[in-house]
Homo-oligomer: A and B are copies of this chain.
């Protein structure tokens, strides 16, 4: 049994039924999404433009709009393809907190493997089949932890929001070069905090080290710990 389309999706017309020309196969939504995926994995999200996709399929940009409403709709389709609900473990009441964390780590790894996708994901209500399956499985874990319904529901909103936001932030070039969060940048930042006027910023100066400690992974681990602990606390 297939999942019905969400009501606000444009009805996809099942056009080009007969075409079947041999020399170049007809352009379909599937082929577009497929091309977008390989391009995404090879060169990152910024390379996935309508023009580039058209070139990749051997045509012009206008041809895309017969099969996809928008760049945004294409993003939706691509994102859904990138989501893998099987990475969310089967609910185990004994380990629900660790399972939540593991789910978030898996999602984070996915974003890292597909740089730029986080930006496109932000603010999307999960409606694709794989996104729905992910929510379903996450709900199972939360219910196994005896989290009340309303809290579990909101948690399904909060968890991807956090993971997506952190991945998005991480994917942005920090200054203008590429440094990201390299050791040199951290060093610079730490020195800067330490050099601030003490009268105005006593705590920033005193805490320059902890403020700049920990790489992206530790920041991420801290965040998921806070969230899981918070959910557990509110569930009592």
Q: Which residues of A contact B (CB under 8 A)?
A: 1, 3-4, 6-8, 69-70, 72, 122-123, 125, 127, 132-133, 135-136, 139-140, 143, 149-158, 161-162, 164-166, 168-170, 172, 174-176, 185, 188-189, 191-192, 195-197, 199-204, 207, 210-211, 213-214, 218-219, 222-223, 225-234
Also in contact, A169 and B139, with CB within 8 A (given A162-B162, A230-B228): no
Closest to A148 in B: B210
Query: Of all chain B residues, which has the CB nearest A127?
Result: B192
Which residues of B have CB within 8 Å of A143?
203
Nearest neighbor of A231 in chain B, beta-carbon distance: B226
Copies of this chain, complex-wide, total 2
A-B contact pairs, 12 of them (CB 8 A): A4-B192, A132-B196, A136-B201, A139-B204, A150-B213, A153-B207, A155-B226, A157-B219, A158-B226, A227-B230, A229-B229, A230-B230
A218 to B157, CA, bound (A): 12
A7: which of B152, B172, B188, B214 is its contact (CB, 8 Å)? Answer: B188
* A41-B127 Cα distance, complex, nearest whole Å: 34
Question: Smallest distance from the beta carbon of A30 to chain B beta carbons, Å?
Answer: 22
The answer to whether B229 and A233 touch across the interface, beta carbons within 8 angstroms, is: yes
Q: Please indicate the chain B residues that have their CB under 8 angstroms from the CB of A228 in the complex.
A: 230
Q: How far is the CA of A124 from the CA of B228 in the complex (A)?
A: 26
State how many angstroms separate the Cβ of A119 from the closest Cβ of chain B: 9
Give Cα distance in the complex from A143 to B218, angstroms: 21
Knowing A123-B172, A168-B122, A233-B229 touch, does A203 contact B136 (C-beta < 8 A)? yes
Complex interface: chain B residues within 8 A of A8 (CB): 175, 185, 188
Q: How far is the CA of A163 from the CA of B189 in the complex (A)?
A: 23
The answer for the CA separation of A130 and B196 in the assembled complex, in Å, is: 13
Apart from A125-B174, A158-B223, A229-B233, what 6 extra A-B contacts exist at CB < 8 Å? Answer: A8-B188, A122-B172, A150-B214, A154-B210, A162-B162, A225-B230
Q: Are B222 and A154 in contact (CB under 8 A)?
A: yes
Partner of A210 from the list B70, B133, B152, B164 (CB cut-off 8 Å) is B152
Query: CB-nearest residue of chain B relative to A192?
Result: B6
| CA–CA, A225 and B231, complex, Å | 9
